[in-house]
Amino acid sequence: MTTATYHCELAWLPDGRVGSDVTVEVTDGRITALSDGHDGDGAAPQGTDAVALPGLVLPGAANAHSHAFHRALRGATHAGGGTFWAWRECMYAAAAVLDPDRYHALARATFAEMALAGFTAVGEFHYLHHQPDGRPYTDPNAFGAALVAAAAEAGVRIALLDTCYLAGGFGEELQPRQRRFSDGDAANWAARVEDLHRAHGHADHAVIGAAIHSVRAVPADQLPVVAAWARSQDAPLHVHVSEQPAENEACLAAHGRTPVRLLADAGALGPRTSAVHATHLTDRDVADLEASGTHVCLCPTTEADLGDGIGPARQLATAGVPLTLGTDSHASVDPFVEARRAEWDQRLATLARGHLDADALLRALTRDGQASLGFGDAGRLEVGARADLVAVDLGSVRTAGADPATAAAAVVFGASAADVTDVIVDGRPVVEGRAHVLGDVGAQLTHAIAAVREEAP
């Protein structure tokens, strides 16, 4: 039995209140007791060996949408302008040179960067499966196994969202550089993922989920197969949805329906499903998402970086659609930047403030984000929950001046990943005093990214 006690100067509690002098007792990775003092003097309980966590302590954030290998692209795709479709060419070049060993090193460093930022779980939308010519490795799940191992070493939980990717577009064959993404059909995909689930789905730090890359990459008659596998395992199912207007136009031309309606007709929506991006939606799309209980994962910095547009976050929230947040292409790895960008983008679109407040954004980052990845027992500071604690400095140049009444808003709208001082994941210290247990994460990123860029055409 492993036990520990933490004393939080301030803590954001499930009712949205910031409590003072909160003591959290942890046994075997779970919160077993939580007491809230009200004197606010920040002193640790007398006569205990509690570990002091100064500043504001939050539950662990969930990065609900990640492509780990995209981290190698940061800063390298901005020459010449263009659109998402131009950026995609750079992405294909990076994907072409990866093997399981290179990907393991890059993902481990990328996941460690997430931990330093306060993410305790990641939803890895994984579609890089085979050798460049499409032939399986000796272990057909070598890439998936590398990602699960990378997350364990970096100290974060992973929902490995194994992605079905079968076509180059509506009615189009795969391009040669897309062959390594494909299993040929959804039945083959399901058989491979079943093996992955048997091998890794029972690890405490891992969930094996499913993903439909997009309705342009999975033919309509194959969508129900993926949805059925996710239902059979009670697993999360994620899908890129309406990321660009061109996707919607092509879907309407091919099927006479929007992507959301096509997914609804295939039985792919529901409380386990996350529609990623959902940037260009109709009113009926929003109604379908709300009626089915589907999550929507916003990735504001990627959507801005790629020029994809501003999604209807306010309309979705008003309709009761649960929102989550992801860093997607890792133009930035910072939960607070993603959160405030979601609100600020709505301000830019509407010329008004106050659409998503600090509590709503923190719920998206924590409780709802964790649940969307299959970690429904995380994202809350309460007895029985996974012991994920993230301490944020309230004395930095970005957060100075915060008090208990303003701490949550000061962090959401002012803090950065650099203000995260300590991170405990499932009761295990992963970041202490802004240092990760793996050591110099910057140096590890530098080495792993160089190994990709040196080989990329």
CB crowding 126-155: b at 16 or more within 10 Å, else e: bbbbbeeebeeeeebbbbbbbbbbbbbbbb
Count of C-beta atoms within a 10 Å radius of residue 69? 26
328 is catalytic: yes
Q: Where are the beta strands (DSSP E) in 242-397?
A: 273-277, 295-298, 323-325, 389-392
Nearest to 10 by CA among 417, 399, 446, 432: 399
CA angle 157, 1, 382 (to 5 degrees): 55
Tell me the longest C-alpha to C-alpha distance in the chain: 70
Distance of CA 146 to the CA centre of its chain: 18
Q: Report the alpha-carbon distance of residue 49 to residue 51 in Å, rounded.
A: 6
List the catalytic residue out of 277, 280, 295, 436: 277
Q: Tell me the C-alpha distance between 152 and 264, whole Å.
A: 35
Give the Cβ contact number of residue 169 at 10 Å.
16
At residue 268, φ and ψ (nearest 5 deg) are -100, -5
CB 298 within 8 A of CB 360: no
CA atoms within 13 A on the CB side of 113: 22
User: In 3-state terms, what secondary structure has residue 289?
Assistant: helix
Instruction: Let me know: does 279 contact 259? Beta carbons within 8 Å.
Output: no
- Angstrom distance (rounded) from CA 237 to CA 219: 17
Give the DSSP letter of residue 439.
B
Give me the phi and psi of 208, to 5 degrees please: -100, 110
Annotated active-site residue in 162, 328, 368, 419: 328
Q: Which of 5, 2, 3 is nearest to 49 (CA)?
A: 5
CA distance 51 to 427: 12
Specify the pairing of strand 237-241 against strand 206-212: parallel
The first and second tokens of residue 53, run together, are: 């966590």
Residue numbers annotated as active site: 277, 328
